[in-house]
Amino acid sequence: MATINCTCCGNKMPGMASAPFSNALGKRIHENVCQGCWSQWLMKQNQLINHFGLSTINPEHQQFLIQNMKAFLFNEGQLPQAEIDTSLEGTIKH
C-alpha cells in the first residue's frame, strides 16, 4: 500500500487501497488522505446525517456533505453547517 502525505493529519501514512469515489474528488482523496482520516470522516459523516436528518439521495444534502468533507479532509472552504436548513432535523423517518 502506498504511503502518502496526508493533507488531513499532516503525517506520512498508508493511503487507502482504492479511491472512495470514481470521480476527480475520489482520486484527490485517494492521493492525499490516509485511511485513518477517511475512517474518521465516515464517522463524522454519519453524525451529520443523523444530526441533520440528511438523505444521501437528496442533491442539496449531498452538496452539504461534500462541502463538509472538503473542509474536514482538506481544510478547504467554510463549514456550511450554519447555513443548512435545520428544519429537516428529526423529520426523516428511518
φ/ψ region of 90 (left if φ > 0, alpha if ψ in -120 to 50, else beta) reads left
Q: Which amino acid is at 42?
A: L
The site map against Zn ion for 21-60 (x = CB under 5 A) is -------------x--x-----------------------
Shortest Cβ 35–Zn ion spacing (Å): 8
Shortest Cβ 91–Zn ion spacing (Å): 35
CB 54 within 8 A of CB 65: yes
Instruction: State the number of binding residues for Zn ion (CB under 5 A).
Output: 5
